[in-house]
Structure 1
Amino acid sequence: MIVGWLVASLQGIGMFFLHPVFYVSIILSLFVGYLRVKRERRGFTIRINSLFQELRQLLPIGLLIGVLLSILTIGSGVVIPFAAILLMGIFTILLSLTFQVRLLSPAYIVGLSFLTIVFLAGREIEIPIFSEAFHSLDQPVYPSLAVLLGLLLLAEGILISKGGSKQPSPNLMVSKRGQVVGTYKARKIWLLPLFIFVPGGELVAPIDWYPVFSIGELHFTPIAIPVLIGFSKTIQGSLPQIAIQAQARKVTVLAVIVTTLAVFGNWYSYLSIVAVVLAMLGRELIHYFSNMNDRKLPFYFSQSKLGVKILGVIPHTPADKMGLEMGEIIMKMNGSQVSNEHEFYGALQKNRAHCKMEVIGHNGEIRFVQRALFEGEHHELGLLFIEEGRKERSRAIL
């Protein structure tokens, strides 16, 4: 039995690299990175982060979450009909073609797959190529699919919390009052390798009550599938990390509620439908109200009377090494009071070998930052500011 499980598991892992979603995720990551770099060059004439930033972030954290989620699904014995796996892949590819990264949420991908199965149940509809997979569906509601949705939604909340605020992209725009202000756009894509069971095959349950969330099959096959999760948010009224963490908490709370309902759906099938509909509506409402509340706030990245507000810090530059952060305000440079970008760089020229700044941190306290400057380092320290002279360029971006 052990050898059979091992062989089947290795074959299932191989399915991960044959799945088209795996290659779609790579292409989509590169395209999102290309659009970001293009926007950054228009706004600031430089590339702030590498073209491959999204591709580098695609798998590392997703791999860890995927392994933990796979342990949960295998431990509880969540069995998913093969038709649902096909539908999840199809909806992932279709939603990817819209380039609306936020639509790559399990709430939409798994939710649409679940509702499609409910719709197809009992109907004589011929599905080209995969007709056998859909004809094998023997019931309209599969509680195991709702449980999977809840677990993936929980994974989405964790991913947003841990990686959603890493290296967001700054942007310039002109407000309704005609002032140049800064915003941030966070666009993230994660790929989770998920190990699950599908009905059929040679493997049998090792104990009578396993799998728990089954679909009435005594034999099943383990396979690994790529699950693509996307997140997108534009922030204007607060620091990106604060707004993104708040949204992550809401998604996590929604995931706990959905998962709880889905588990009870194993005994009361109508609760599975309630869980799926709640997940889809809840995820959309979180997005809507989060954006609406953010728009009501004044622009956080606007010009300050206290000094020059930092819009962004380019990685691996002197400013980054000095620990300067977005949203902080530079009051003085080399002893001179500064109120705009021109005055800042004028004061910097007073001493090209060393710079000393007085900075107002996020806690409102003043701290001193200083560092020796070396030949060949970034000539502007690696800081991005909001400058009135960029108004026309900002309009061009819009």
Structure 2
Amino acid sequence: MVQIWLVELLKGIGKFLLHPVFYYLFFLAGILGVSRVKRERNHFHVRAYDAYFELRQLIPVGIFPAIVLSIIAIAAGIAVPFAAILLIAAFTFLWSFTTNIRLLSPVYTVGAAFFTLIIIADHNWAVPFFSTAFHSIGEKVYPSVVVILALLLMAEGFMILKNASIGTSPKLVKGKRGRNVGAHEVKRLWMLPLLLLIPGDALHLPFAWWPAFHLGAHKYSLILVPFAIGFQQQVQGKLPKESIQLLGRRVLFLGIFTALLSVAGYWYPLVSIGVAAFAVIGRELITLMQRIGDDNLPFYFSRKNNGLMILGIIPASPASKMGLQVGELISKANGLAVRDEKTFYEALQKNRAHCKLDVLDTNGEVRFVQRALFEGDHHELGILFVQDERKYDEKIV
């Protein structure tokens, strides 16, 4: 029995490496990095993180939730039809063409696959090239797909909390009076490799109560599926970390509540349709609430009378090594009061070997930071400010 499971596990991993979504997500993450760097150079003539930053976030953050959810899925005997996996992959490609990365959230890819599966089964449509997979689904509602949706939604909330606020990208936008103000944007793509049971001819599930979410099959196979989780948010009325983590907690709560509701689909399959719709609408409402709430707040990254607002910090720069943070105000540089970039850089020239700053942190408390400056250090300390309209001629959108 153990040998059979190990063989199936190896075969499932092999199928994972053949899955087109696995390679496509690397391509998408690369595109996100390149487009971000291009925008940052357009706005600031310098980029914050390099173009490979999004690629480095793609896999590591998803490993822990993937292991936990895979154990839950197999232990609970949650099996999904292979047709659903094909449709999820298809909608991952389709929604990515909209260039709206948030549509790669599981509620949109898995949710669309779930409803399409019902429509295909109800009308008995023939699907070219995959007729065998779709012919076997019959006129059924598959609550197991909604359970997987709920588990992935929980993973999305966890990954937003864990990773989305790291490396947010500063940008310039036009305020209500037509002047440049600052904002932060995050476009993040994660891969979550989930080990699932599908109807097959290899594995007998070892306990009598398995499978809880059965498909009428007696034997199963293992397959490792690369699920995409996309996240996109612009923040202009709060500190990025505060706003993003609030949204992450809401998504996590929605995932937990959806998971509790989805279990009822085992006894009443039609309930699964309502639960899937609830998850999609709930996720949309969370996004809408964040957007409306942020738009109703005054711009956080705007010009202040008591100092110069830090919009961004370049990694490994003197500013980063001094512990300066996004959202802090620099009130003095080398003993001179600063109100704009011109006076700030003039104050830095007062002592080219040493920099001392009076900083008002995000809690409103004053602190002092200083550092020796060396040959080769970034001449602007690596701090990004809200640029004056006269500094660059590029169009800000």
Alignment TM class, shorter chain as reference: over 0.9
In 2, distance between residues paired with 1:94 and 1:274?
Answer: 24
1:218 corresponds to which letter in structure 2?
A: H
For residues 159-308 of structure 1, the aligned pairs below 5 Å read: 159-308=159-308
- Whether the 8 Å contact between 2:103 and 2:230 is mirrored in structure 1 is yes
3-state SS, counterpart of residue 387 of structure 1: coil
- Whether the 8 Å contact between 2:174 and 2:396 is mirrored in structure 1 is no
Question: CA-to-partner distance for each residue in 1:283-321, whole Å, 9 max, x for gaps?
Answer: 111111211111011000000111111011000000000
Deviation at 1:64, TM superposition (A): 2.0
Change (3 A) 1:390 1:2: farther
1:360 corresponds to which letter in structure 2?
A: L
Q: Percent identity?
A: 48
In 1, distance between residues paired with 2:268 and 2:92?
Answer: 29
For residues 92-171 of structure 1, the aligned pairs below 5 Å read: 92-171=92-171
Instruction: Identify the residue that residue 369 of structure 2 maps to in structure 1.
Output: 369
Change (3 A) 1:225 1:390: farther
Instruction: Identify the residue that residue 80 of structure 2 maps to in structure 1.
Output: 80
1:113 corresponds to which letter in structure 2?
A: A
1:106 corresponds to which letter in structure 2?
A: P
- Whether the 8 Å contact between 1:174 and 1:391 is mirrored in structure 2 is no
Deviation at 1:345, TM superposition (A): 0.6
Question: CA-to-partner distance for each residue in 1:73-105, whole Å, 9 max, x for gaps?
Answer: 111111000000000000001111222100001
3-state SS, counterpart of residue 121 of structure 1: helix
Deviation at 1:45, TM superposition (A): 0.6
Change (3 A) 1:88 1:356: same
Deviation at 1:178, TM superposition (A): 2.1
- Whether the 8 Å contact between 1:348 and 1:355 is mirrored in structure 2 is yes
Say what the alpha-carbon RMSD is for the aligned residues.
Answer: 1.1
3-state SS, counterpart of residue 224 of structure 1: strand
3-state SS, counterpart of residue 196 of structure 1: strand
- Whether the 8 Å contact between 1:9 and 1:222 is mirrored in structure 2 is yes
Change (3 A) 1:292 1:392: farther
3-state SS, counterpart of residue 122 of structure 2: coil
Question: CA-to-partner distance for each residue in 1:238-274, whole Å, 9 max, x for gaps?
Answer: 0110110111111111111111111111111122111
2:323 matches 1:317:
no
In 2, distance between residues paired with 1:227 and 1:393?
Answer: 42
TM-score normalized by the length of structure 2: 0.98
Deviation at 1:43, TM superposition (A): 0.3
- Whether the 8 Å contact between 1:42 and 1:393 is mirrored in structure 2 is no
Q: Which segment is superposed worse, 81-90 or 172-181?
A: 172-181
Query: Stretches of 4+ moved more than 6 A in 1?
Result: none
Change (3 A) 1:393 1:173: farther
3-state SS, counterpart of residue 270 of structure 2: helix
1:23 corresponds to which letter in structure 2?
A: Y
In structure 1, runs of 5+ residues without a counterpart are: none
Question: CA-to-partner distance for each residue in 1:320-361, whole Å, 9 max, x for gaps?
Answer: 001000110001101111111110110000101111111000
Q: Which segment is superposed worse, 96-105 or 148-157?
A: 96-105
In 2, distance between residues paired with 1:295 and 1:163?
Answer: 24
2:237 corresponds to which letter in structure 1?
A: G
Question: CA-to-partner distance for each residue in 1:45-80, whole Å, 9 max, x for gaps?
Answer: 112111111001100011222111111111111100
- Whether the 8 Å contact between 2:330 and 2:338 is mirrored in structure 1 is yes
Deviation at 1:390, TM superposition (A): 4.8
- Whether the 8 Å contact between 2:44 and 2:387 is mirrored in structure 1 is no
For residues 348-363 of structure 1, the aligned pairs below 5 Å read: 348-363=348-363
2:35 matches 1:49:
no
In 2, distance between residues paired with 1:391 and 1:180?
Answer: 11
In 2, distance between residues paired with 1:327 and 1:340?
Answer: 15
1:387 corresponds to which letter in structure 2?
A: Q
In 1, distance between residues paired with 2:66 and 2:99?
Answer: 23
2:357 matches 1:383:
no
In 1, distance between residues paired with 2:202 and 2:349?
Answer: 75
- Whether the 8 Å contact between 1:308 and 1:338 is mirrored in structure 2 is yes
- Whether the 8 Å contact between 1:301 and 1:327 is mirrored in structure 2 is yes
Instruction: Identify the residue that residue 396 of structure 2 maps to in structure 1.
Output: 397
Aligned residue pairs: how many? 397
